[in-house]
Structure 1
């Protein structure tokens, strides 16, 4: 069971890094025209950045919860 949790933690950590990189790439692809736009509401680029960063937060939360679960399970095994 512990090995399975460790693998899930590694997968969640990798997913966190992938979403972080995708969010940064979306941020870097923002054009000057989008920044100077007078349109009301968020641009497509802003929505994509927001989506990537919320996904990162979700994967990060899953990784933290899995680490906490692993620590709780091994707390009595000293």
Structure 2
């Protein structure tokens, strides 16, 4: 069981890092766009992407924590 859960943890951590980096890139791009955009126009495409990526980061991070908890429970 350990040999099955460890690769899953590695994959989830990698997905967390990718989502974090994509969210930061979207944040940097949205700040450039926001300087020239009308604030009454609502959220821009980059802001929506930033929110989506940060939600994905939280989701993958939570799943990784759950898998680590399962691994600890199985190891005992």
TM > 0.5: yes
Query: Which structure has the highest helix share of the two?
Result: 2
3-state SS of 1:18 partner = helix
From the CA coordinates, give the structure whose radius of gyration is larger. Answer: 1
Match of 1:33 among 36, 45, 50: 36
Unaligned segments of structure 1, at least 5 residues: none
**Given the two structures, how large is their TM-score scaled by the length of structure 2?**
0.89
Unaligned segments of structure 2, at least 5 residues: none
- Number of aligned residue pairs: give it: 73
1:44 matched to 2:45: yes
Q: Which runs of 4+ in 1 moved over 3 A?
A: none
CA displacement at 1:41 relative to structure 2: 2.5
CA displacement at 1:3 relative to structure 2: 0.8
